[in-house]
Chain A
Amino acid sequence: MGRKLLLENINVPGINTFEVYRQHGGYRAVEKALKTMSTDDVVEEVKKSGLRGRGGAGFPTGMKWSFLAKPEGKPRYLVCNGDESEPGTFKDRFLMTHIPHLLIEGMIVSSYALGAKTSYIYVRGEMMPQIRILERAIAEAKNAGFLGKNILGSGYDLELYVQPGGGAYICGEETALIESLEGKRGNPRIKPPFPAISGLYNCPTVVNNVESIAAVVPIINDGADEYAKVGIGRSTGTKLISASGNLNKPGVYEIELGIPVEEFIYSDEYCGGIANGKRLKAVVAGGSSVPILPANLILKTATGESRLMSYESLAEGGFATGSMMGSGGFVAFDEDQCIVRNTWNFSRFYHHESCGQCSPCREGTGWMEKVLHRLEYGHGKMSDLDLLVDVAKKIEGNTICPLGDAAAWPVASAIRHFRDEFEWHVSHPAEAIERNYGLARYADPLPKAETVAAN
């Protein structure tokens, strides 16, 4: 069993209430931070822990905090990013539903560290039940003196509010989230200035993912050194992985960073293998935005080493043969899934969610969707494949925010690794509507007796 730092008490009945959470050691981190540590101590501790942003980018959280400007006379804000819209990711919903006080506790400690007197948790609008849960948890914490004026007699004041979104993927991007919190359309801002200098209401602001904020609690409780002992290399601590797709046991798992991908997919402790006795064809390892990898490359790197669930190992080989940790949205595809159809589906998503500010993304995502649609429905041309690669290349890096990259990578990687499947859709259009391409040469290294589907 791997160590659990966030979900250790997840199965305790009533852990969603203040009382039970407190009985199981909850809010110790607030007591420790406010009574025995200076704000700089807390920032230093988080820096030392090596915690990296859990929302997708993997930027060191402590370093992000240390960039926060502290001009006289201007309030500072901490905003928690609970927009969770990346397809394949549902860990924050899980955490907020079942152990909301962990997030509240993390928010109090983090706000203290940053000197924020008002903090917001921005939650996507569809999660109304979770919004109600958090509001109740905030009320409970306030009742017990952990929020409001002069918390635990420390002289520190903090108000915490939950803000609903309105159903826009783009609001997971930090500057779009800030715009949305200001009551505007979620159009990302041009950086610089970074939110650390000028964010919410043009004041210095830190935006952190739900899981990053929650991870601050064990870091303060046990110390940065203890936290950094878990994990591997620069991937310290644990990570919540949202496992979905054709798995026996989809769900949210807390893993120690660095366990082998193979163990994560096949062991009974985690996903328990591929559903219905099928075989693995491909995996999207970090949410829909990261490059898709065929089974052979997700289980082993190009150099034949076992691939691990860590920021570095998942990225090994660059985009040629690797992928990214992203937000930990682990989507498994079995042998019956069509890569072309899935790529078209993801493209439709990005087209739908593009905010429309930058033409490469606004237009390019639509073109990719159309071209992929005709490939899937048997009207494609061979030249469409290079056309897709070309459009993807022209979106990537040419937009204000990373949604453009996120739209381009899945398409480019699908063609990179599954080109023969795309070509088959063009050369055998009628057959491609009738049946799926199958595994072909992407068989996972745990082959079954039957032969691979004919090419």
Chain B
Amino acid sequence: MLKISKTDEIIFTPELIAKFNEILLRYPEDKQKSALLPVLHLVQAEYGWVSTPLMDKVADFLNLKPIEVYEVASFYTMFFLKPQGKYVLEVCRTGPCCLVGAEKIMTHIEAKLNVKEGEITPDGLFSWRGVECLAACGMGPVLQIGPDYTFYENLTADTVDDLIDRLRLTTVEKAQII
């Protein structure tokens, strides 16, 4: 899944560059820094995480100093600064979800995947972590999987098992938006 190592030369594909350019049109001239978050999201979706060489490349593209990209990527929790599994299960661990069993779901995932929070399964497929409120409190417990941030709601141990087994076999389903 991870397409680059630190030393590889990074070349953004023309498709990715086209998307960047489309985003840049949203802001006034000289305000291209505003594109940083959307661009980082696209980069992470493409490469799985944002490495330092990738951030340098983004800085180049947006005409920013590298530090301006580092400080932003490290501030926002959605950006991964180290490699992750192909599927990152992000479970909401905040109050309302905990009232309906989020902690049990996290314990269950840990046992099922047999890796600790933040670690990657040996096959490279999965990692998981607890995240703060995902604004789906009424449907708790919930987890999300990037890069399209599909939501899985009202989780039970069984539905989590199903989900993990299904992901092992197939690729992730497209976002459920209804």
**Which of A219-227, A315-323, A341-349 sits within the interface?**
A341-349
Rounded to whole angstroms, the CA-CA distance of A244 and B133 in the bound complex is 13
The answer to whether A163 and B38 touch across the interface, beta carbons within 8 angstroms, is yes
Would you call A132 an interface residue if the criterion is a C-beta within 8 Å of the partner chain's C-beta atoms?
A: yes
Given known contacts A125-B78, A166-B75, A345-B95, is B100 in contact with A246 (CB within 8 Å)?
yes
The answer to whether B37 and A126 touch across the interface, beta carbons within 8 angstroms, is no
Cβ-closest chain A residue relative to B39 = A183
CB distance from B57 to the nearest CB of A (A): 16
**Which of A230-238, A254-262, A329-337, A385-393 sits within the interface?**
A329-337
Would you call A67 an interface residue if the criterion is a C-beta within 8 Å of the partner chain's C-beta atoms?
A: no
Would you call B115 an interface residue if the criterion is a C-beta within 8 Å of the partner chain's C-beta atoms?
A: no
CB contacts (< 8 Å) of A331 on chain B: these are 95-96, 99, 137
CB contacts (< 8 Å) of B26 on chain A: these are 120, 159, 161, 163
What bracket does the count of chain A residues touching chain B fall in? 35 or more
The answer to whether B137 and A89 touch across the interface, beta carbons within 8 angstroms, is yes
CB contacts (< 8 Å) of A166 on chain B: these are 37, 40-41, 72, 75-79
Cβ-closest chain B residue relative to A93 = B135
The answer to whether B137 and A132 touch across the interface, beta carbons within 8 angstroms, is no
The answer to whether B175 and A349 touch across the interface, beta carbons within 8 angstroms, is no
Rounded to whole angstroms, the CA-CA distance of A342 and B103 in the bound complex is 12
Report which residue of B31, B36, B95 has the largest number of chain A beta carbons within 10 angstroms of its beta carbon.
B95
**Which of A79-87, A188-196, A294-302, A430-438 sits within the interface?**
A79-87
Cβ-closest chain B residue relative to A333 = B99
Interface string of A348-366 (1 = CB under 8 A from B): 0100110100000000000
Rounded to whole angstroms, the CA-CA distance of A90 and B151 in the bound complex is 13
CB distance from A406 to the nearest CB of B (A): 13
The answer to whether A167 and B149 touch across the interface, beta carbons within 8 angstroms, is no
Among residues 259 to 300 in chain A, which have CB atoms less than 8 Å away from a CB atom of chain B? 284, 288
Rounded to whole angstroms, the CA-CA distance of A133 and B148 in the bound complex is 12
Rounded to whole angstroms, the CA-CA distance of A159 and B34 in the bound complex is 16
Q: Which of B38, B40, B137 contacts A242 (CB 8 A)?
A: B137
The answer to whether B35 and A185 touch across the interface, beta carbons within 8 angstroms, is no
CB contacts (< 8 Å) of B72 on chain A: these are 166, 183-185
CB distance from A240 to the nearest CB of B (A): 12
Interface string of A162-197 (1 = CB under 8 A from B): 011111110000000000111111100000000000
CB distance from A403 to the nearest CB of B (A): 13
| Total chain B interface residues with beta-carbon distance under 8 A | 47
Given known contacts A90-B136, A166-B37, is B31 in contact with A182 (CB within 8 Å)?
yes
Cβ-closest chain A residue relative to B96 = A244
Rounded to whole angstroms, the CA-CA distance of A97 and B150 in the bound complex is 13
CB distance from A123 to the nearest CB of B (A): 10
The answer to whether B94 and A87 touch across the interface, beta carbons within 8 angstroms, is yes
CB contacts (< 8 Å) of A250 on chain B: these are 137-139
Interface string of B63-92 (1 = CB under 8 A from A): 000001001100111110000000000000
CB distance from B153 to the nearest CB of A (A): 11
Among residues 113 to 143 in chain B, which have CB atoms less than 8 Å away from a CB atom of chain A? 131-140
Rounded to whole angstroms, the CA-CA distance of A353 and B75 in the bound complex is 10
CB contacts (< 8 Å) of B75 on chain A: these are 166, 168, 185-186, 355
Would you call A7 an interface residue if the criterion is a C-beta within 8 Å of the partner chain's C-beta atoms?
A: no
CB contacts (< 8 Å) of B144 on chain A: these are 126
CB contacts (< 8 Å) of B135 on chain A: these are 84-85, 89-90, 92-93, 124, 126-127
Q: Which of B133, B138, B150 contacts A349 (CB 8 A)?
A: B133
Would you call A56 an interface residue if the criterion is a C-beta within 8 Å of the partner chain's C-beta atoms?
A: no
The answer to whether A169 and B76 touch across the interface, beta carbons within 8 angstroms, is no
Report which residue of A92, A97, A185 has the largest number of chain B beta carbons within 10 angstroms of its beta carbon.
A185
Cβ-closest chain A residue relative to B150 = A129
CB distance from A352 to the nearest CB of B (A): 6
Interface string of A74-115 (1 = CB under 8 A from B): 010000000011111110110001000000000000000000
Rounded to whole angstroms, the CA-CA distance of A159 and B134 in the bound complex is 29
The answer to whether A183 and B133 touch across the interface, beta carbons within 8 angstroms, is no
Would you call B164 an interface residue if the criterion is a C-beta within 8 Å of the partner chain's C-beta atoms?
A: no
**What are 16 A-B contacts with C-beta separation under 8 Å?**
A16-B178, A90-B137, A90-B138, A126-B78, A126-B149, A132-B175, A169-B132, A182-B31, A184-B72, A245-B96, A246-B100, A250-B137, A329-B137, A345-B95, A345-B98, A349-B95
Residues on B close to A: CB < 8 A? 26, 28, 31, 33-38, 40-41, 68, 71-72, 75-79, 93-96, 98-100, 131-140, 144, 146-151, 175-178
- Contacts beyond the supplied A84-B135, A186-B76: 14 A-B pairs with Cβ under 8 Å: A75-B28, A85-B135, A90-B135, A93-B135, A97-B177, A118-B28, A127-B149, A129-B151, A129-B176, A165-B76, A166-B41, A245-B100, A250-B139, A342-B95
5 cross-chain pairs, A with B, having the tightest CB-CB distances, nearest first: A166-B76, A244-B137, A167-B78, A183-B33, A183-B36
